[in-house]
Amino acid sequence: MKLIGMLDSPYVRRVAISLKAMNFSFEHEELSVFNDIEKMKVVNPLIKAPSLMTDEGILLIDSTLILEYLDRKCNENYSLLSKNMEQFTKSQYLIGIALTLCDKAVQLFMEYNRRPPEKFYQEWVDRINEQLQAGLSLLDQQVIINDAGYLIDNRIMQADISIAVMLKYIEKKLSSIYNNYVSKKLKVFSSAMESTSLFKELMF
């Protein structure tokens, strides 16, 4: 398999870390949707990352759909989604919050770094900021770290990966949001995940 995209995308990074956690071997081609447009067009005319070329030669896009495919393909002992319905539902709830926060964080970063100054829309930026703050507060309320240091089971699962990747993106790209609105509990969790060999191998 080949994963295409830059690790500074939280969506690409969650797929890359998940591939490792599920014990898949894969090739990683770091192409930017901004700086490598022509090369990306050859791989994916939609110029979207992550893109995953499967062993069967089928191109998959969208991190959630890619991870659903991988979870069905992997050995069940490496699945990142619990078979227990209560744990699965909790996981999906937390992943939903994490992905919403990813979306808002990316939007805010783009507003500050990609939109021309004359097009800057303060009302929209204020709304995104409000959503980010509310989401981070909600996540802090809902996250319970167990004795093993994880959120769902006694090993790393998709909720752990998605939340940790989101938090690192905010730390790196929106430091004021991270410093002011990410709780101490979430910072401790992020630091613990990022200190593992799994995450260190796929830093950005």
Pair 53, 1: CB distance under 8 Å:
yes
Q: What is the pLDDT of residues 120-164, one digit of tens each?
A: 899 999 999 999 999 999 999 999 999 999 999 999 999 999 999
The percent of residues above 90 in pLDDT, for the chain, comes to 96
Q: What is the pLDDT of residues 88-127, one digit of tens each?
A: 999 999 999 999 999 999 999 999 998 888 888 999 999 9
Would you state the pLDDT for residue 133? 97
Would you state the pLDDT for residue 195? 98
Q: d(Cα 171, Cα 200) in Å, to the nearest integer?
A: 15
Letter string b/e over residues 133-162, b meaning 16 or more CB atoms within 10 A of that residue's CB: eebbeebeeebeeeeeebbbbeebbbbbbb
Q: What is the pLDDT of residues 55-79, one digit of tens each?
A: 999 999 999 999 999 999 999 999 9
Cis? peptide before 45, omega within 30° of 0: no
Amino acid at 18: S
Pair 52, 3: CB distance under 8 Å:
yes
Q: Is the pLDDT of residue 29 over 90?
A: yes
Would you state the pLDDT for residue 97? 98
Pair 97, 91: CB distance under 8 Å:
no
Q: Is the pLDDT of residue 36 over 90?
A: yes
Q: What is the C-alpha end-to-end distance of the chain, expressed in Å?
A: 21
Would you state the pLDDT for residue 191? 98
Would you state the pLDDT for residue 184? 98
Q: DSSP H helical segments within the chain, as ranges?
A: 10-21, 37-43, 63-73, 85-113, 122-142, 158-173, 175-181, 184-194, 197-200
Structure pTM? 0.96
The percent of residues above 70 in pLDDT, for the chain, comes to 100
Would you state the pLDDT for residue 27? 98
Would you state the pLDDT for residue 204? 83
Would you state the pLDDT for residue 117? 87
Would you state the pLDDT for residue 114? 87
